[in-house]
């Protein structure tokens, strides 16, 4: 049976991460099952905004689907890559299956808009300012930026350049339910499993059930 192309999207909050984040063992298992695995380095938000990333990946999926034996694509993503996976599943007709691992369906969820108690208890970042980090900065500097943004609840504002309303348009759950405004929206809450359930996506076993 011909299998679709499989697109893997790494995590990193749109700030760091590379295509090499896909574990070699996982890639080998998928390729042994007959999948052609593609992992891309999508646009990051430092020096830009988050809006370039979903748009670039929509074009990527369209191109992959045109070359795929089935005309479709399976998308697998972790964390921020899981968010992008949910976005593509909600909006792109060529996505046949999606597996979101620790992904999030709403960029305006409270857990991202408010300071994180977990990150508040991590390393001190005295004197740190987001503008100190550039696309050429080290992985450690980019991770410090992420920690700072989680400590302050500032990630949504940073990736949107303070245009929070614009994030509603690229939030998968809002796209799925036809919602576009920032406030007053009844949405499923939580991260990963509950949001994936809203899409009918089984986080762990979707590929195995569909292609065995």
Per-residue model confidence as pLDDT tens digits over 48-63:
889 999 999 999 999 9
pTM for this model (two decimals): 0.82
Task: Give dist(CA 38, CA 51) in Å, integer.
Answer: 22
The contacts found for 40-44 with CB under 8 angstroms, 24 or more apart, are 40/7, 40/9, 42/9, 42/84, 44/12, 44/14, 44/15, 44/16, 44/135
Task: Give dist(CA 150, CA 79) in Å, integer.
Answer: 14
Beta carbons of 195 and 106 less than 8 angstroms apart = yes
Among the listed residues 16, 80, 70, the one whose alpha carbon sits nearest the alpha carbon of residue 44: 16
Q: Confidence class of residue 209 from pLDDT cuts 50, 70 and 90?
A: very low
pLDDT at 176: 63
pLDDT digits (tens, 9 = 90+) for 83-118: 999 999 989 999 999 999 988 888 888 888 999 999
- What does the pLDDT average to over 38-53? 92
Structural tokens at position 174: 């809002």
CATH of 5-210, picked from 3.30.365.10, 3.50.50.60, 3.40.50.1820, 3.30.420.40, is: 3.40.50.1820
Query: Buried (b) or exposed (e) across 57-85, using 16+ Cβ within 10 A?
Result: bbebbeebbeebeeebbbbbbbbbbbbbb
pLDDT at 103: 87
């Amino acid at each position: 049976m011909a299998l679709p192309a499989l697109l893997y999207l790494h995590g990193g909050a749109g700030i760091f991460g590379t295509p090499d984040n896909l574990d070699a063992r996982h890639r080998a298992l998928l390729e042994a099952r007959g999948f052609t695995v593609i992992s891309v380095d999508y646009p990051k938000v430092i020096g830009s905004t988050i809006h370039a990333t979903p748009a670039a990946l929509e074009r990527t999926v369209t191109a992959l689907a045109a070359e795929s034996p089935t005309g479709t694509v399976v998308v697998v993503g972790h964390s921020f890559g899981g968010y992008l996976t949910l976005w593509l599943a909600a909006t792109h007709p060529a996505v046949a299956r999606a597996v979101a691992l620790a992904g999030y369906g709403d960029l305006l969820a409270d857990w991202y808009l408010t300071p994180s108690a977990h990150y508040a208890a991590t390393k001190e970042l005295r004197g740190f300012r987001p503008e100190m980090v550039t696309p050429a900065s080290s992985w450690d500097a980019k991770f410090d930026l992420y920690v700072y943004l989680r400590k302050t609840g500032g990630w949504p504002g940073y990736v949107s350049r303070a245009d929070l309303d614009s994030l509603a348009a690229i939030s998968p759950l809002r796209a799925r339910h036809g919602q576009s405004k920032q406030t007053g929206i009844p949405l499923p809450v939580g991260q990963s499993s509950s949001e994936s359930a809203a899409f009918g996506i089984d986080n762990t076993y979707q590929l195995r059930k569909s292609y065995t």
